């Protein structure tokens, strides 16, 4: 997109990055509200832990995540948010590699900031987590690198600090009374046709799953072997999991492998 924009003669572009994060545009903003209002955490901790262990036995990574959620000690942001954005469950990571213990950086950051974060409305609390986590470490980084690689300067108006500070104070019932991003949608509705403003939300995903079973298969397998040869991953588990992915087994996602492949490629390129 950056390359095509620059090829069209445009040197500076605006992006809508930040709209979903500020105005509760993702499904898990609703999930967060439901979790905080759920009575599930009133159940005895030992019952929740037992249920989590049962779900962890599944080959489907989706059930691993549900198990982590049920087994969480408390419905706090630093415990719940990482589950929304993790590439693979902790249980699955431990099966790949025995050196996967410890808390993530985002967990520590949110825990340290908890007293201040909890002063904000619930939806804004999740916005803070998004800004500290996925937005900062993935979206903004990718936007900057890809645009600069094409000599395109991209501006992100939704991250103007005055706007961010204001939107964080808006009560939940105003920000999300009936559908995602209602405030933002209605703000621009007079300027755009209804079929644009109210169209179904669409992701922007490349066909990695198909590529990794065809054109990228050999590349991926060589990188996964590198991690096994170095003793970073358990070879037998990697081979079984990779075969399940190639066979189209439900719940075995391309993303868990691609992140490992990228890590291995980085290690090889940098002779780490």
Q: Are residues 117 and 251 in the same domain?
A: no
Could you tell me where the beta strands, DSSP code E, fall in 71-166? 153-155
Domain boundary among 172, 197, 222: 197
Mean pLDDT in runs of 10 for the chain (272 residues)?
95 94 90 80 64 63 64 77 82 77 80 93 95 92 95 95 95 83 84 81 85 96 94 92 93 91 93 70
Q: Are residues 244 and 140 in the same domain?
A: no
pLDDT reported for residue 95: 85
Distance of CA 107 to the CA centre of its chain: 14
204: left (phi over 0), alpha (psi -120 to 50) or beta: beta
Q: What tokens were used for 255?
A: 């993303």
Q: In degrees rounded to 5, what are phi and psi of residue 14? A: -100, 145
pLDDT reported for residue 102: 63
pLDDT reported for residue 8: 97
Q: Are residues 222 and 181 in the same domain?
A: no
Q: What is the spatial distance between Cα 259 and Cα 193, in angstroms, rounded to a whole number?
A: 39
Q: What is the spatial distance between Cα 155 and Cα 151, in angstroms, rounded to a whole number?
A: 13
Q: Are residues 227 and 177 in the same domain?
A: no
pLDDT reported for residue 140: 94
Helix, strand, coil in percent for the chain, rounding step 5: 65, 0, 35
Q: Are residues 185 and 92 in the same domain?
A: yes
Query: How many structural domains does the chain have?
Result: 2
């Amino acid at each position: 997109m950056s390359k095509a924009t620059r090829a069209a003669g445009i040197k500076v572009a605006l992006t809508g990055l930040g709209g979903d994060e500020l105005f509760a545009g993702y499904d898990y903003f609703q999930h967060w509200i439901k979790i905080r209002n759920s009575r599930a955490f009133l159940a005895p901790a030992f019952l929740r832990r037992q249920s989590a262990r049962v779900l962890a036995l599944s080959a489907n990574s989706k059930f691993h995540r549900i198990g982590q959620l049920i087994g969480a000690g408390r419905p706090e942001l630093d415990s719940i948010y990482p589950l929304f954005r993790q590439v693979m469950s902790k249980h699955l990571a431990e099966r790949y590699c025995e050196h996967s213990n410890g808390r993530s950086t985002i967990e520590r950051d949110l825990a340290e900031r908890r007293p201040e974060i909890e002063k904000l409305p619930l939806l804004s609390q999740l916005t803070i987590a998004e800004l500290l986590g996925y937005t900062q470490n993935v979206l903004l980084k990718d936007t900057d690198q890809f645009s600069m690689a094409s000599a395109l300067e991209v501006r992100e108006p939704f991250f103007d600090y005055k706007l961010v500070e204001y939107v964080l104070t808006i009560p939940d019932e105003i920000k999300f009374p009936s559908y995602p991003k209602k405030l933002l949608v209605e703000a621009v509705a007079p300027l755009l046709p209804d079929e644009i403003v109210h169209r179904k939300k669409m992701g922007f995903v490349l066909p990695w799953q198909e590529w990794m079973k065809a054109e990228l298969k050999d590349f991926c397998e060589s990188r996964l072997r590198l991690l096994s040869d170095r003793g970073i991953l358990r070879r037998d588990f990697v081979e079984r999991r990779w075969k399940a992915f190639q066979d189209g087994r439900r719940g075995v996602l391309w993303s868990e492998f691609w992140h490992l492949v990228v890590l291995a490629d980085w290690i090889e390129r940098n002779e780490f």
